Chain A
Amino acid sequence: MPPSVDPKKPPQTLMQGNVAVAEAAIRVGCRFFGGYPITPSSEVMMRIAQLLRENNGTFIQMEDEIASICAVIGASWSGAKAMTATSGPGFSLMQEGLGYAYFTETPLVLVDVQRAGPATGQATHVAQGDVMQFKYGSHGDYYPIALAPWSVQELYDLTIRSFNLAEKYRVPVFLATDEAIGHARENIEIYEEFEIVDRVREGEGMPFGHDAPDGVPVMPAFGDGASLMVTGSTHNPQGFRKVDDPDVHNNLVTRLMRKTMDHVDDIVETEEYFLDDAEIAFFAFGISARTAVAAVRRLREKGVKAGLLRTRTLWPFPEKQITEVGKQVRALIVPELNKGMMASVARGYSQAPVHQINKTNGYVLEPEELIEYVEEELS
């Protein structure tokens, strides 16, 4: 989907990451944004407020993040591609609505520009501390999709992909970015031609059921004459509440999880750098992967056989890819801006010992910190 960029021809546009999200969203067809101001995500809202006005869409600044996510869900059921953007404290407030969106199979995109937490923390400083909240933020069993861009260009690319996955699988999709990338300005190619996926509004079958155990049901909108019954209570394929039927509940929870888990190969995207002959490998996402790729190049110059597995998908977790790399290297190193969230998951799949490099002072990891770790701990 993203155009292959010629290293000799830097794109002639400089853009801030958060702005790139808004530009991509409008081009993939987003026509509703409900949000609440929060640093460091507010530029997404400010830019898309303008773009929606120019493109016959709807922008509304709600009274809080709880209302924002609810308005987005309502708009999605009215047929609009809808999104919101927030950061840690707002993301916490949205968890109730996100569970609802997941359970009612409502497509939407949420951009989380991660900042240093817990609580108010440091609003203007970077972190990658929401890794687990993407996966487990709401109550109950569910398996959401979270994409992890590492550049301004990828904020554009993966915003498009987030909408496409949301529409394809009828799920909320998280764009898991961070302050460093959201606020960075970089060269960007704003391309207009790309694949756009739209939900299936007309067709056979019930709106909340599917013959296939991992199937995505048809999703009529309000006003289409489908007499929809949308509910966050356990419901049968037609939408009737079934709050006492064990089979209906179990079947629903299971199908919803399988929608994601049975399509991991379609959803998960990773990239490999210098892994062919690597003896040690980094596993990283987002801004920390930028640090890692710089560290790997410098380690190679020093003769260290280092490589990088970079994931563009936080959830579903790239289990297969980690397992493969874990068979090959003598150490897997996970640098991240939290106390070891990704590392703890990677340990479940990597045969090689998993080392972790963590930074939680509100600044990004620098390449030399990774190099130092390798030289001191792994040489």
Chain B
Amino acid sequence: MSRAMEKYLREGLAGTAFCPGCGHGILLGAVLRAVDRIGVKKEDLLFVSGIGCAAWIPSPNIGTDTLHTLHGRAVAFATGAKLANPKLKTIVVSGDGDLTSIGGNHLIHAARRNVDLTVICADNQIYGMTGGQTASTTPVGAKSSTDPGGNIYRPFDLCKLVSAAGARYTARYPVTQPRKLIDAIEKALRQDGFTFVDAVSPCPTQFGRRNQMANLKKLYSTVESLCVTPAEAEAMDEETRLHHFAIGEFVA
């Protein structure tokens, strides 16, 4: 990370807990760059997260107010904090399992209410911290510690889900395209109301190792090779589509 973003880091940090090659460090950098562009005072920023690797992106790394909550509940906590003090620019950063499985109900209801929050989903398609179990975002056929023979259930299309629930802005970009990702987060932050960014952030330790992508170059180039436009995705049959990442803006 360049020195320019150091002003947002918390004093006294001894480094992050992320594994080598984890996408979450890139995502942290992207979030801070986007935040820097919107020019909100540091004391008016609140980062809220749930439980899991992604929840540790803001807490404790970002030196603003941070609220590290319960598994799945970040959006509900954020709703209360934001409504009680509307001047807080409130940003939720948490994982796919946290936000969309155990926390799925809170996510869609916050979108429905159009609460003025930006939710950034660090989407690694697996439960990382607890040991590589299948998530609601794991692709069909991908191997996990609970599906060693490959996952048989369809994953959520998170952007479609949250768009349908009423979000004002939704977008998906991988950490392999950091400029577009930063632009999308910035746009989400500038848009009033509920906004959502699905940030594809690969997990080499729990996902890569089990799916013949322990090699970081292979992992990241695979993610990049699976990115298609929303139009291309819509032209695919369901099975093929579910193995790709439709990237771009869905509600803008």
> Are chains A and B touching directly in their complex (CB below 8 angstroms)?
yes
Chain A residue nearest in CB terms to B43: A225
The answer on a CB contact under 8 Å between B106 and A63 is yes
Residues of A within 8 A of B46 (CB): 222-223
The answer on a CB contact under 8 Å between A74 and B84 is yes
Residues of B within 8 A of A230 (CB): 65-68
B251 within 8 A of A: no
CB proximity of B181 to chain A, nearest CB, Å? 26
* Interface 9-mer from A78-86, A156-164, A265-273: A78-86
Q: Report B28-64 CB contacts with A as 1/0, cut-off 8 Å.
A: 0000000000000011101010000000000110011
Binding site of A, secondary structure by majority: helix, strand, loop or mixed? Answer: mixed
Distance of A353 Cα from B216 Cα, bound (Å): 71
Q: Report A58-87 CB contacts with B as 1/0, cut-off 8 Å.
A: 101011101110111111111110100000
CB proximity of B67 to chain A, nearest CB, Å? 5
Query: Interface size of B by Cβ–Cβ distance < 8 Å?
Result: 33
Partner of B70 from A97, A221, A222, A238 at Cβ < 8 Å:
A97
Residues of A within 8 A of B82 (CB): 74, 78
- Contacts A74-B79, A229-B60: A79 and B85 contacting too (C-beta < 8 A)? yes
The answer on a CB contact under 8 Å between B66 and A70 is no
A96 within 8 A of B: yes
- Interface residue range, chain A: 35 or more
The answer on a CB contact under 8 Å between B81 and A78 is yes
Binding site of B, secondary structure by majority: helix, strand, loop or mixed? Answer: mixed
- Of B70, B81, B106, B109, most buried by chain A (CB within 10 Å of CB) is B81
B78 within 8 A of A: yes
The answer on a CB contact under 8 Å between A223 and B73 is no
A372 within 8 A of B: no
Chain A residue nearest in CB terms to B71: A96
Chain B residue nearest in CB terms to A243: B17
B76 within 8 A of A: yes
Interface residues of A in 225-266 (CB under 8 A from B): 225-233, 238-241
- Of B43, B46, B68, B109, most buried by chain A (CB within 10 Å of CB) is B68
Please list 6 pairs of residues, one from A and one from B, whose beta carbons are closer than 8 Å in the complex, sorted by A's number: A73-B80, A74-B67, A223-B46, A225-B43, A226-B65, A241-B68
